[in-house]
Structure formats: C-alpha cells, structure tokens
Amino acid sequence: MKKSVVALLALSVVCIAFAAIFVKLSAAPASIISMYRMLFAGILLSPIVFEYRRELSRPSIKEWWALMAAGLFLAMHFGFWFASLQLTSVASSTVILALQPLVAMVAAYLLYKEKVSARMLTAVFTSFFGVVLISWGDFSFTDLSAIFGNMLSFLGVMAVVAYFLIGQNTVRNLTHWVYSFLVFSIAGIFLLIYNIVTGTELIRYESREWGLFLLLALLPTIAHVIFNYLLNELSPATVSMAMLLEPVGASFLAYFILSESLTLLQVVGGLIVLTGVYFFLFSQHRERHARTL
C-alpha cells in the first residue's frame, strides 16, 4: 500500500473519530447539533453539486419520496446517536455504532432474503455478545442513563441502516455528491421542523458552539470525501475495515480530551464487537471474491 494512501486513510479515521468528541464538548441539545451537522454539510457540498446541477431534475416522484424517507432516517440516526453521546461514554456509543454492517446484513436477509453464511452468523452473535458486555459494564443501580444512551446508539444504527437500504435500492441515477447533498439537506430540514415544533432555541448559542457545529460538519465530510477517493485505490472491504478504527480513535481521544475512563467489561466488550465486525467484513469480502472467480 502506498504511503500516501496510508496517510489519507489515517487522516480520514482521525477526522471521523473527532465527531463524537465535538458532540461531547457541545452544550447544545442533540437535535440542534444534528441539525447544523446536516445543514452545514449540505452547504459545504453545494459548490461540488453545482457542477452536477443537471442531475437535480433526474429523480422521479417516487425517487423524491425515497429521498425524503432517506433524509428522515438520516436525521433520526444523528438525533439518536448525538443524544446517546450525551448519556453514555464515547467508547460505548461508537462501538455500538460499529454494528451497522451486521444490522444491515440482518435487514437485507429479512427484506430481500439475501443468503447468510454460518461465518457471518457467528460474527453477528459474537458482536452482539460484546454489546451485552458493554451495556453490563455501563450498568449502575443509581444511574441508568448510560444504558439508555446505549439503547439510543443502537436505534441510531437501525436508522442509518434504513437510510442506506433506501439509498442503495431506490435512487440509482444520482452521483454520490448529489445524493449526499440532497439527503443531508432534507435531514437538516426535518430536524429544523422538529426543533421548531418542540420550541428548541435555534440560533442563540455562543461562538464556541457555532465553531463545534462547523467542525462537526467539516471533518466527517472530509473523511467521507477521502473514503470515496480511496475506493479508487483500495477495495470497499479494506475501507470498511479501516472504519472500524473509528471507535478506537474516538475512545483514545476521549481519554485524553474528555478524561473518560473505561471499565474492563467495556474494553473486553468493545474488542469482541470489533472482532465480530472484522470477521463479518472479511467473510463478506471472501464470498464476493469467490463469486467473481
């Protein structure tokens, strides 16, 4: 692997790992953080989308409904995940978020009857056992907020899987840039409506908060741009496996920046989850490779 590719891969992991830290540092409501994360990301993508503006007339009425649904689920994903980060540790929340490919496999099996190998099932059960250990490590008779935070993180996983399933199976005639711009913007509008209906303050926040909102949109967006570029150099499986370093990087940053500590059960559970997800992605890659031979 080229040194430049390794450097870009490392940069993307660091960028995306900072997302959880910025949420933790913010004192704003989770729905506000999520809203500006989406709206600012849409604004950042708009110069690129301008070059592809003709695509905006391509979606049919059915596809616009799919885009609306995808945007709604994406809004729910960030709303749930950011709320979870305000209740549980960065390590627990981000590790549970790593379950996304496993939940996607289960959903694809239930909805589209896609075949599941014994290796993949073993990876699923291994990872869910790790999640149980994480939640057990967060358990306290005096404070159950961390458990609730873990549940919100898992709801965030369910929402993002629904978002990906809609995008992969409904809207096929848009470039990644235009699709991302549309669903980011739609998600931001849904969150804006939610905040207006619930009477949440929209604009009166300190400059520090606005800086965090912008950084939260900027760094993960840079990470996704790098991931898309690296798909020209690396296989999707390699990029997906590299993304498993996000919980590790986020936990490392949380230890030094937020002084968050880890229990032994959280560490063991996190390692089990990441091991299960790794073997799932590895098995998936091997099966796809075998089918192409």
- Whether residue 26 has pLDDT greater than 90: yes
Instruction: Give the tokens for residue 33.
Output: 């953080």
Write down the pLDDT at residue 33.
96
Question: Rounded to whole angstroms, how far apart are CA atoms 84 and 283?
Answer: 30
Q: Please give the DSSP secondary-structure letter assigned to residue 47.
A: H
**Helix axis angle, 264-292 relative to 100-112, nearest 10°?**
50
Q: What is the mean pLDDT of the chain?
A: 83
Query: For the purposes of burial, counting CB atoms within 10 Å of the CB of 218, is it exposed (0-12), middle (13-18) or buried (19 or more)?
Result: middle
Q: Please give the DSSP secondary-structure letter assigned to residue 203.
A: S
Tell me the mean pLDDT in the region 34-47: 94
Place of tokens 């694809």: 108
Please tell me the pTM assigned to this model. Answer: 0.84
Write down the pLDDT at residue 285.
64
Instruction: Give the tokens for residue 79.
Output: 């709303």
Residue type, 222: I
What confidence tier does 204 reach under pLDDT thresholds 50, 70, 90?
A: very high
- Whether residue 143 has pLDDT greater than 80: no
Task: Classify the C-alpha dihedral 236-238-239-243 as positive or negative.
Answer: positive
What confidence tier does 129 reach under pLDDT thresholds 50, 70, 90?
A: confident
- Whether residue 281 has pLDDT greater than 80: no
What confidence tier does 231 reach under pLDDT thresholds 50, 70, 90?
A: low
Write down the pLDDT at residue 170.
67
